[in-house]
Amino acid sequence: MKKRGRPKNLPSLKDLLAQSIPTSDIFNEDEKKMYDSLINIYLQDFDEDQLTANDMDDIMSIAMNRVLEIRLLKSGKDNSITQLDSSAAIERLRKQTDKLKENLASRRRDRIDPKKYVGLSIIDLAASFDADRKHKLLKRDEEFVDEENELMQSDLMVGNKDDEDTFIVSEEVGD
């Protein structure tokens, strides 16, 4: 019997991309490694739970554009005629990549809850920092007091209580 609903362990986005995009048909082995590493780098900038299909499409396109740009730069490395021809294509790829990055950034901005950061100022941050620091210092102070109490109760703090010219301070002297 087939279960309904969303599977418990969804495959990672990297695995989904590897299954859905025929990168081995598009790129040679070095370019495929570059594409995969670019995808990994770009995905680190995002929370995978919040990515939409459009985000993924833009990320794939940005990585693909970068690989194609490098391919064009390599092809024009020793040939000035090819270099001139590829420069226009490289410029178009860069413009398209910039537009894709802007789309990603605007969708990311749209997902941020503006109410979450309302009223947050530098003063709030400073007060929070001061409160954290105060808490750490108080905790350290308590640890010192506990350590001092342990030492006072231990046999290490014998001092000179057995000397003839000493007396116990806690008892009444006049009795």
DSSP tally for the chain: helices H, then strands E = 6, 0
Q: How many residues does the chain have?
A: 175
Q: Please tell me the distance from the alpha carbon of residue 12 to that of residue 49, in angstroms, as a whole number.
A: 10
User: Is 63 within 8 Å of 42 (Cβ atoms)?
Assistant: yes
Band (pLDDT 50/70/90 cuts) for residue 62 is very high
Query: At residue 80, what are phi and psi to the nearest 5 degrees?
Result: -70, -30
Is the separation of the CB atoms in 86 and 72 below 8 Å?
Answer: yes
> How is the chain split into domains, by residue range?
13-112, 121-155
* pLDDT score for 171: 53
CA distance 110 to 103: 11
pLDDT tens per residue across span 3-46: 676 556 666 766 777 777 788 888 889 999 998 899 888 888 88
Question: pLDDT tens for residues 107-130?
Answer: 887 777 666 666 666 777 777 778
**Mean pLDDT of the region 87-102:** 91
pTM comes to 0.56
21 is written with which tokens? 């995009």
Helix (H) or strand (E) holding 108: helix 80-111
Q: How far apart are the first and last CA of the chain?
A: 92
